[in-house]
Amino acid sequence: MKAIERIAPDVGWLPISFVNSYFVGHSGGPWVLIDSGLPGQGEQIFAVAEARFGAGSRPEAIYLTHGHFDHAGSALQLAERWDVPIFAHRMELPYLTGLSAYPPPDPTIGGAMAFLSRFIPYRARDLGERIRVLPEGELEGLPDWRWIAAPGHSPGHVAFFRESDRVLLAGDAFATMNMDSWSGLISGQKKLSRAGAPFTMDWRAARESLRQLAELRPNVAGCGHGVPMSDAQLPERLERLAQRFRPPRHGRYVDAPAQVDETGVVALPPAPFDPVPLATAGALLLAGIALGSGYLEEQLRD
């Protein structure tokens, strides 16, 4: 079983697969879970929470930076087991109550994550009666923290920030690994980068959100993907990332964002031509023809 790693005195980090969950609070006191990982990770999160906070302990709440499947996947399973609410920004609720699917990912922007996005779900999730609107003001179990609207990657994406020690839990506003590179995605090497590019539905908003988070000058940055960072150069490096942030050269949402409101997706830019499904279909067709003609069987015998 993986153990929670500490990134601040009362902030723990749990990487499972390629996505991170965060635990905020001290053993014996109130605590919360921020992001719940992929579907099917609930048992592992539950086990490590008991190891950190004690058998029978439960959080005050589950908070979501946004509702994409890799951040909200185990939220309902855990909320029902712990009997706690799930909080998300009001602009995320259509995608967490079954009302709307997220804007489709854009695999045509290029890069490793863009290729993989063809196989990643973006459907609506229904968290039922557990889901709540993220409140203004004090947060349950997070008295010294505030949430900051950071839309762009998703309509109601938020980050969580504590001013006293400048700890930033940034979700997918940016990443600490290069998800556009196959080597970066596989190695997980630390690098400040944009996050989940094919799922970003408003590039102008994403750039502005990154700029605002960089102005916080965090000492610690824990993102949804990658190993958290905490070094003296982090504020300057994040500022440089914000200054150099550029959208892809081409793509579905580069010139015009997905249009959304509190009911979900209203309108989408036209989908660019994606040659990969045709290439895959062509390869499967050729393989079928080869099998039907007996060519592959002859080759195997040889």
* φ and ψ of 86, to 5 deg: -115, 130
Distance CA 194, CA 244 (A): 11
pLDDT value at residue 277: 67
Sign of CA dihedral 236, 240, 241, 243: positive
pLDDT value at residue 286: 38
pLDDT value at residue 82: 97
Please say whether the beta carbons of 112 and 101 come within 8 A. Answer: no
Please say whether the beta carbons of 105 and 198 come within 8 A. Answer: yes
pLDDT value at residue 275: 81
The residue among 226, 218, 160 whose CA lies nearest residue 189 is 226
Tell me how far apart the terminal alpha carbons of the chain are, to the nearest angstrom.
48
pLDDT value at residue 236: 97
pLDDT value at residue 280: 52
- The pLDDT tens digits for 84-140 are 999 999 999 999 999 999 999 999 999 999 999 998 888 888 999 999 999 998 899
* φ and ψ of 35, to 5 deg: 70, 140
pLDDT value at residue 200: 97
For 213, the 3-state DSSP assignment is: helix
**DSSP state letter for 201:** S
Distance CA 244, CA 254 (A): 16
Q: Which CATH class is domain 5-271?
A: alpha beta
For 173, other C-beta atoms within 10 Å of its C-beta total: 29
For 287, the 3-state DSSP assignment is: helix
How far is the CA of 119 from the CAs of 105, 114, 122, 243, 291, in angstroms? 10, 10, 10, 32, 26
pLDDT value at residue 137: 87
* φ and ψ of 288, to 5 deg: -65, -40
pLDDT beneath 70, residues of the chain: 1, 277-302
Both tokens of residue 144?
């010294």
